[in-house]
């Protein structure tokens, strides 16, 4: 075993919009953030720079809460964590979440106080907020170093890189380039021309072209290796990132790339426990239909990369949503046909849906929703689930009537009602309720008082209703509820 020094792997964590990508942007002297929809990072990216003759590898993880699992994996494969906190905004939910991951991973970290060039900064207050979450900075008698920077102007960035280099030097990071290959997948996707792609960081051994590799059940031969700038590589050594072309499938984020024919010591897999206080918004809902069957929203999800797909799936509760299919790459005609058969909604994230596919979806009556920003997608999904859980959430009740008797006249089944509150109009939207359960949404075909046709029955008055659905199952004691949608105009 020949251990040699390797580049440190640095992960940047923090709250959305606190400047993580902008900071990395300045370091790399590129414009990653400008290419991201909504100004937020949508994927994990791995990048390498050269600082005073030494290489430093950065993992830029997304800051939005939906990517908590991706951030957690980032902190598990890193050597040093940079916790970015905006000097004008302070500690926020994802800051707290990131602190928890840092503590769990027991990785050395430092705090970067960003946006020191803007108005309204309150550095001491932010340090006090950090102390409330057991992050005691050096100014407050602790051992956590704070570097004040402006990702916009570059002020303090040299000091940050110097601090990273010193921390890495203290850790004496080494790896064996001749050991059996182990590389961690930090992102994966499918390209129409190149096929399945995997972005990885090598931990042990050497990754090289024409190498036979496997990732779990996925086989492949390395056809092409490239860095983050698209430059071709022949070999990739420990601590360095690369993109692999040549796999027969898109691997899971966090999985390990290994070399065919090498012997590996099996590592014990520790199942992750649910983090205290981490709540799935949909976890405890039990949705029952009119006859006791479960009501679920059928869903097909397509995303541009595996990490994003995983983040979306984490926000889907299997008790509430029936995930028909999920994968990376473009929406296909076969998936639209599947959606038609299963009455499913198709979600396409960060993908361009061709007009041909849109027209085919329209011909099948399939709805395809496109998203470019993750939190918009999550919010919409949650709203749809809430609507399923509470169908009347956006309704305003305008009248309630009780069915007092049932009789027939000229073959029509008539509900004799008495209005208890408000009024019932012939044109109203209706629910038919038995107890607390909505059993139907009938449409009035006729409304009478005695033999006279009428258009409205007001409070404490009686009348007879016939419905368009001839075999509607209503009983004495059922309640007819008239309503309007909250956004409707009178």
pLDDT in tens, 92-115: 888 888 888 888 778 899 999 999
- The CA dihedral of 304, 306, 308, 314, to the nearest 10 degrees, is 140
Determine the Cα–Cα distance for residues 340 and 356; give it in Å rounded to an integer: 16
Pick the CATH number of 395-485 from 3.40.50.720, 3.90.550.10, 2.40.30.10, 2.70.170.10: 2.40.30.10
Residue 382 has pLDDT above 80, yes or no: no
Residues of the chain with CATH 2.40.30.10: 182-259, 395-485
Stretch among 222-226, 381-385, 387-391 having the lowest mean pLDDT = 387-391
Residue 489 has pLDDT above 50, yes or no: no
Residues of the chain with CATH 3.40.50.10050: 297-389
Determine the Cα–Cα distance for residues 123 and 86; give it in Å rounded to an integer: 9
**pLDDT number for residue 72:** 56
At 437-475, the pLDDT tens digits run 888 889 999 999 988 889 999 999 999 999 988 788 899
CB atoms within 10 A of CB 222: 20
**pLDDT number for residue 270:** 40
Using left for φ > 0, alpha for ψ between -120 and 50, and beta otherwise, residue 106 falls in: left
Stretch among 20-24, 61-65, 280-284, 441-445 having the lowest mean pLDDT = 280-284
The CATH class of 182-259 is mainly beta
The CATH class of 3-175 is alpha beta
**pLDDT number for residue 393:** 54
Cα angle 352, 358, 360; round to 5: 140
Stretch among 35-49, 121-135, 279-293, 342-356 having the lowest mean pLDDT = 279-293
User: What's the Cα-to-Cα distance from 451 to each of 29, 210, 409, 464, rounded to whole Å?
Assistant: 83, 88, 11, 10
Residue 392 has pLDDT above 80, yes or no: no
Query: Would you give the DSSP letter of residue 122?
Result: -
The whole-chain average pLDDT of the chain stands at 84
CATH code 3.40.50.10050 for 297-389? yes
DSSP symbols for 334-364: HHHHHHHHHT-EEEEES----HHHHHHHHHH
Q: Quick one: average pLDDT of 367-382?
A: 85
Q: Which residues contact 356 (CB under 8 A, 6 or more apart)?
A: none
CB atoms within 10 A of CB 338: 17
Instruction: Tell which residue, 249, 197, 250, has the closest CA to residue 225.
Output: 197
Instruction: Tell which residue, 308, 320, 307, has the closest CA to residue 280.
Output: 320
- This prediction's pTM: 0.61
**pLDDT number for residue 77:** 83
Most confident of 142-151, 293-302, 479-488: 142-151
**pLDDT number for residue 209:** 96
Strands 456-458 and 412-425 turn out to be antiparallel
């Amino acid at each position: 075993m020949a251990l040699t020094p390797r580049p440190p792997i640095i992960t940047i964590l923090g709250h959305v919009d606190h400047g993580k990508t902008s900071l990395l942007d300045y370091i790399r002297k590129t414009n990653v953030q400008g290419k991201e929809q909504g100004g937020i990072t949508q994927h994990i990216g791995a990048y390498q720079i050269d600082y005073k003759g030494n290489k430093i590898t950065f993992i830029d993880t997304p800051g939005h809460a939906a990517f908590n699992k991706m951030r957690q994996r980032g902190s598990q494969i890193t050597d040093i964590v940079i916790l970015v906190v905006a000097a004008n905004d302070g500690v926020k939910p994802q800051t707290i979440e990131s602190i928890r991951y840092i503590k769990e991973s027991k990785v050395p970290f430092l705090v970067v106080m960003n946006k020191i060039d803007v108005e309204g900064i309150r550095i001491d207050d932010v340090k006090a907020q950090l102390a409330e979450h057991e992050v005691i900075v050096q100014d407050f008698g602790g051992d956590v170093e704070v570097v004040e920077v402006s990702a916009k102007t570059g002020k303090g960035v040299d000091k940050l890189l110097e601090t990273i280099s010193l921390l890495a030097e203290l850790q004496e990071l080494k790896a064996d380039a001749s050991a059996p290959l182990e590389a961690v997948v930090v992102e994966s996707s499918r390209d129409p021309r190149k096929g399945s792609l995997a972005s990885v960081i090598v931990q042990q051994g050497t990754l090289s072209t024409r190498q036979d590799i496997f990732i779990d059940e996925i086989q492949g031969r390395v056809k092409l290796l490239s860095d983050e700038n698209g430059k071709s590589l022949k070999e990739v050594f420990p601590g360095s990132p690369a993109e692999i072309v040549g796999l027969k499938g898109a691997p899971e984020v966090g999985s390990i790339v290994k070399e065919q024919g090498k012997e590996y010591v099996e590592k014990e897999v520790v199942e992750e426990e649910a983090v205290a206080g981490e709540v799935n918004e949909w976890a405890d809902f039990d949705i029952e239909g009119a006859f006791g069957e479960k009501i679920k929203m059928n869903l097909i999800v397509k995303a541009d990369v595996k990490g994003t797909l995983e983040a979306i799936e984490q926000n889907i509760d299997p008790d509430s949503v029936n995930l028909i299919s999920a994968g990376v790459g473009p929406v296909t005609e076969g998936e639209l046909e599947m959606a038609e058969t299963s009455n499913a909604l198709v979600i396409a994230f960060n993908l361009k849906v061709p007009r041909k596919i849109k027209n085919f979806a329209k011909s099948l009556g399939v709805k395809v929703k496109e998203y470019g920003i993750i939190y918009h997608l999550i919010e919409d999904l949650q709203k749809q689930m809430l609507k399923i859980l509470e169908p009347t959430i956006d309704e305003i009740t305008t009248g309630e009537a009780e069915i007092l008797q049932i009789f027939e006249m000229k073959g029509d089944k008539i509900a004799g009602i008495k209005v208890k509150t408000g009024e019932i109009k012939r044109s109203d939207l209706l629910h038919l309720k038995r107890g607390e359960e909505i059993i139907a949404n009938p449409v009035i075909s006729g409304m009478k008082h005695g033999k006279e046709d009428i258009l409205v029955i007001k409070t404490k008055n009686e009348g007879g209703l016939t419905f368009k659905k001839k075999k509607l199952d209503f009983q004495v004691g059922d309640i007819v509820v008239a309503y309007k949608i909250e956004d409707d105009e009178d």
